[in-house]
Chains A and B, each alone.
Chain A
């Protein structure tokens, strides 16, 4: 127990001292994001993440949003296990044929405002997998998309910026 406490004190709050090149960006994005979240979602934006066929690259970066360095909860962004509680679906692609129905069901289970953000190059347009019998292309081919965050995979900062873009509108 003492070791744990010691480690916690030794580590301190790592969320603050971001590397310089990211700090400015995150600071601005974060503040605007917080404002938008307070205004539109009463302090908390709840996201359901759906992997509709991705290679797992995007998932790793979405995960990183929860690490103590990006710490997205400080902006009121929270990931939920159920689409029923979600304000936003963060969807990675390409949409595989075998996930199409599950994606539609998840979308239908989500209450309004049902914001959909397509993540990654594959989520935007199918990426390197293109369109074929098994990959149906970008998320927009299956459900309405409000915003896209390109990148292969997009960096955590780009994910935060992309989320802001859609709720700040």
Chain B
């Protein structure tokens, strides 16, 4: 089997020029002329790659136009295809017809960067709501982010179903529970859902633009607040990207502590969400039991790391907190009791027929759809996709402490819950191993900002799945662009697909089983 790089060069030949400013070097970047962008995507499609992310950068500070980048992956290999568009003709050929995942990425590129995906099937803006002026392109360098943008009249046209008995249900942006805002538009007949359409962007805070006003070390604070439930993984992905750019190597002890925090974040979120899924199937018992266990983990985080979610503990060059031998003992004994309690509860989950009736065969994301959409994380693993960056693209200590991947085929609510149950077990196991092999030494090294015109790339498996950062330094060595791709950016598409054939009252349950981030998506 040839690598993506090999099949790329064999198809594109001399038209593909390799970029030397990209770090780490294991991630290849190919420049292609604009007219061959589609062909490049076709080569990736025939090599069975998935589209990881697609984004644009404004290169005017370098005296260039716009760059459009598409990142593909297959197994452990990541490859970025880059093409240019001049300022006077900001357009590129759409990849949406080849890769469904490009659908929203490209709408977003058009909305926020003002670069047109020519031939894109959907002319509606994304993130940029209908009351924004057409020419407000916040990611362009010429845009002044400090000025408020006026509201204009506009309308967002949802896809409508017609026929006898068809009606529409608008839900949100303010939802019934204590959750983030977003809008769902259902077309239904009786209880049956004909179509669900999401409209997101309500919590767009201008995060990517904000990065450009921050220093490299301030940036990590912001990355830790892209999605507050995934603060460790986002901060880690940001740090790994900028450390790759500068060749900064955090000490081993820091790497182990980062992984420890990453796994604790995974356990805490999985516990809360498994309970919440049960609650949405009217089995509140497990919500309360599991939220009790979650609280125990958070309190230990607070005691040992000084923050319940471990915000701002991962920093460029290492970590901010060390752990004492007593802290290690505390975690180990806590894991023993957690593991016992958890297993007792999972027996109850597994043996409850009324719960089983709700979670099985509900909200099915077929393996075919999962692959086509390019979903990641536990959503992918519940639908037969063997994707986990900890295993496919490991960094220490995951290169020697290897989690077992839980993969299920059914793609229903139960499968998504069960993958997470298995992952709690695995995280408990590997945390024990990490603590037993915790290296001695320093917990951070000095981080020096990167030189001008470089780009760093990193992927980290957060609890929702693969998080991607691509960070670029500008001509003065500042942050020129920070592209953030939360797992939600691709996985939200899957919620729309999984809901087909379900009934309206099962939507909260289906949605909870995905539990994608609004903030991480809207940025």
Contacts and interface: CB of A to CB of B under 8 A. Distances in A.
A129 B146 CA distance: 12
15 contacts: A3-B351, A14-B292, A56-B519, A57-B225, A66-B291, A94-B205, A96-B202, A98-B204, A102-B173, A129-B205, A129-B207, A134-B206, A134-B209, A135-B206, A136-B148
Interface stretch (B58-66, B175-183, B363-371): B175-183
B129 A59 contact: no
B147 A59 contact: no
A128 B136 CA distance: 23
Contacts of A61: 308
B228 A57 contact: yes
A137 B308 CA distance: 25
Given A81-B176, A134-B206, A64 B201 contact: no
Interface stretch (A24-32, A36-44, A47-55): A47-55
Contact of B202 (A82, A99, A127): A99
Interface in A93-130: 94, 96-99, 102, 106, 127-130
A127 B179 CA distance: 20
A93 B8 CA distance: 45
B517 interface: yes
Given A7-B285, A152-B225, 19 more contacts: A53-B203, A55-B225, A57-B225, A57-B229, A57-B309, A64-B295, A97-B149, A97-B204, A98-B201, A106-B174, A128-B210, A128-B222, A130-B213, A131-B146, A133-B146, A133-B149, A134-B138, A136-B148, A155-B308
Nearest to B518: A56
B224 to A, nearest CB: 9
B179 A133 contact: no
B225 A11 contact: no
Given A11-B292, A68-B288, A133-B148, A59 B206 contact: no
Contact of A69 (B177, B225, B295, B351): B295
Interface in B222-237: 222, 225-229, 231
Contacts, number: 151
Contact of B345 (A7, A59, A130): A7
Interface string B299-310: 100100000110
A66 B287 CA distance: 10
B136 A54 contact: no
Contacts of A131: 146
B228 A58 contact: yes
B348 interface: yes
Interface string B123-157: 00000010000001010000101111100000000
A63 interface: yes
Contacts of A99: 173, 181, 202-203
B289 interface: yes
Nearest to B112: A134
Given A19-B299, A133-B147, A57 B231 contact: yes
Contacts of B522: 96, 98
B179 A51 contact: yes
Chain B interface category by residue count:
35 or more
Interface string B173-202: 110111111000000000000000000011
Nearest to A55: B228
B294 interface: yes
B393 to A, nearest CB: 26
Interface string A1-41: 00110011001001000010000000000000000000000
Nearest to B311: A152
The 9 A-B pairs at the shortest CB distance, nearest first, are namely A57-B228, A134-B206, A81-B176, A55-B228, A67-B291, A132-B145, A56-B228, A55-B225, A135-B205
A55 B345 contact: no
Nearest to A122: B225
A61 B178 CA distance: 10
B344 interface: yes
A60 interface: yes
